[in-house]
Structure 1
Amino acid sequence: MSVNKILPLIGIAVLLGALALALKTRRPPPPAPRPAKTPEAPAPAADSPADTVRSLTARVTDMLAENKRINEENERLRKQLEEFRQDEEKIAAKVKKKLAGELSKVRQENQDKLSTLAEKLNQLKESFSKQSSDKLAIGGGDIPDGFGFSNAIHWVEPLGAATQPAGMKQSRNGSLLHPDGDEKTASKSAAAPPQKPAPPVLPKPVYTIPAGATLMNSTTFTALIGRIPIGGQVQDPVKFKILIGRDNLAANGHFIPGLLGMVVVGTAVGDWNLACVYGTIHYALFVFEDGHVQVFGAPALRATPMPVNGRLNQRTNTMINQPRLQLGWISDRFGNCIPGRRVTNAPAYLAARVGLMGAAAAAEAAAAAQTTQTTSAVGGVSQSTVTGKQGRFILGRMASGGIREIDRYLQERMGQSFDAIYVPIGKNVAVHLDVSLLVDYRPNGRMLDHRAQYQSGGNHDWLD
């Protein structure tokens, strides 16, 4: 029987399919997908151990070299310091030696001087003792006879004799009220009859400042300090000066020949509410170029004999008490009250006073808290007894007494202080005159310097 040839082929194909299926089922499942790696920063470049060892070796070598250099420098400084000390000791020894030599030399010189002085003193003692033991020379004086002085007259100036100042010609007749002259002139004047006195030299009128005149563009020579009145009065007003030049004294543009200027003196009073100063003129001084002066309103001077060392001094000047004259007042462009700056210590004083009084009251209260007040039923007499801590009571009383003493001192000091209005120097003011000033030139009047008259040989004496 014949077999189909296709069957073996089909069997082989089936067998191969079964084998392939078996192999497929036994294969492991594919691996799951892995997540992407997180990016990391690259690691810094690090030295290798060999590099680290080499670096440490280099550093140690440098440190050893630096340490060696420092040690050498210290050794050098130590040697230098030792040399300085030795030099200092040598210098000190030299100075001590030289100083000892100088001291010895000075002592020797002083000893020699003392010896010389002692010898001179002994010689003087011997000379004095010899003179005292000897008799006076013939004639009873220190000049012996035979020289022509035995019968001479020796003039001795009296105690009250006046002497002429340096620069004046010496008067032979010794008089201050007559010009210099010789003995013949003096004898002639004594024998001649008295002459008539010379007519007085009349003053020459040179300038007139009428009452109501105003001197503009004047300058304060000192600061204006106006004290504030207390109780409507100023005990000691502060003075001031104003300088007026010849330009301000010119009349209608015509200058006065020989007139140098004018100085006025007055007193100032302050106004606290307006913060200004009122100025009053009392004195006026005119100065001429040749030295003559004329004063208006100043207290008069007179020569009064005053005892000086048992003698009378005829040239002592004393003040004649006269009422103060008001020549005028001052103002600026804003008015007759010149604005200034308030100066006071009232806030500090009040603060200190309040603090002291408060502290004193607190101390008194602390001391009173340690006491008990009892009143007698019979007479109604009140009595205080310390029933608390005695130490606190004593401390409170002590503090109260000290604070009150400080307050008393502060009150005494403040009694000498005052409030004032201050105007600085150099203020441009105007001077208003209430009195006419008649300026005269007196040829024989007072001058700043009279020596020129004496040196010129003129007939002038001290009493002009």
Structure 2
Amino acid sequence: MQIKSNALVKVIVPAVVIAGLAVGLKSCKNEPAEQPQAKQSGGALQNLSPDELKALGVEGDTPEDTLRTLIGRLNDVRDRQKTLDKQNAELVKENERLRKRNQDVSGQVNEAVNGLREQYDKRQAQLQDEQLSLTAKIQSLTDKLKQPDAGKKAADSDIPLGLGLDGMGSSTGGAASQGSDGMMWVTPTDQKETDPRDAASGKASPQFPTSFLGDNELTRQKAAYEQQVKGHTNEKGAEESAEPVYTLPENSTLVGSRAMTALLGRVPINGTVTDPYPFKVLIGKDNLTANGIELPDVEGAIVSGTASGDWTLSCVRGQVTSVTFVFSDGTVRTLPKPEAVNSGGQNNNSQAKQDTGTGGGIGWISDENGIPCIGGERKSNASTYLPTIFGLSAAGAAGDALSQGQYTTQNNVNGISSTMTGDAGQAALGKAISGGMSETTDWIKQRYGMTFDAIYVPPGARLAVHITRQLAIDYEDKGRKVRYDFTLPGGVSDSGGLD
């Protein structure tokens, strides 16, 4: 049996083979042209590291994608370059404008400097001209002084005219010169030379080291008047009669003193003591000697001061304001000096003292143990003042309550109104009691206005005086004395007797 083949297969198979060969030949022809480009792009990408590819954003891209990315980046760079070029051009213009302005300012400064130089040159020329003019005047005056007549006139210029002394005084330095009338003018040897500036101004006058009649009757009367009225004087010799005797140094302590008066110290109210009480302390001659102060001519001293109290500690503090020393001949010396001294013969016991407050002084006092606050007894009128005020206030409040109890208070649209609904006599009695108690309270407050709390120390307390300022003890020959040798007219003298 013979097998027959299909004619369609014989036609299709050769056609497919021919088509495959054609495609293969075509692909072989295009491969050599595309292979260099692929190799070139692949080689360029192979030179980059993975981090660089990631930074460029081409990691895992095909060559075509990479090319498009690079083209976009290049366009961005070109745009930025254009912007930078534009900014650079603007900066160049601004720089040029500032440079021109700087040149203008420099020109103005140069003009100002040139103007100042011109003014300086003109001023310098004027000063030189003035200097030359003054030099010429000085030379002219020098030439005039060198002439004999000019010197003679200058020497005679101090002698007044009309005294018959014309033509005299041509010599100086204490030498004598004889005038035309035979008189001779002698210049004192201690006369000081006249200042040329005063001589040129015409105000020159003879100057001497000592003044004539500096201590005369007028100056003594003036010093006495100022000492009596003002308490001090600026005239020389006013204090020459005071002879230094002793100096009580600062921080001295005078123990063994005794209080002459009681120490009554008021307690300060709001830090202020109203009308503080004074005190006195006696220091005898033996006390001064025991403290190392040997004053044979001093019989004793009296210390004055003011006191203040301390309610909490129940003690008195004392501030020393003055000390009076009594000499054996009766002369007294008070330190510090009073502001006014009655040195005349007037019998005036009121003298102006320094401040007697507790804020200042020349020392303070303490007890024998050195405690600066002397213990004492508390004194106060609060025990009588407060109950009295309390009772009067209670009575006044009761009167007000009695009067108000007779009224009824209502609150309506017109406000608060009070109407009497009780006994009118009770209301009047309450008003009278309230008014009377109010007046009595005012009277009590006025009479008890000097309410006080004080600390009391009896007289005779042994104290120590502490000096905080240096005291100069002087003896005045013409000072005031406690007693003068005086006899009444017509009386019996010490040496006389009965006829």
TM-score using structure 1 length: 0.50
Of Structure 1 and Structure 2, which has the larger fraction of its residues in helix? Answer: 2
Q: Which has the bigger relative contact order, CA under 8 A and spacing at least 6? A: 1
Structure with the greater alpha carbon radius of gyration: 2
- Report the TM-score when normalising by structure 2: 0.47
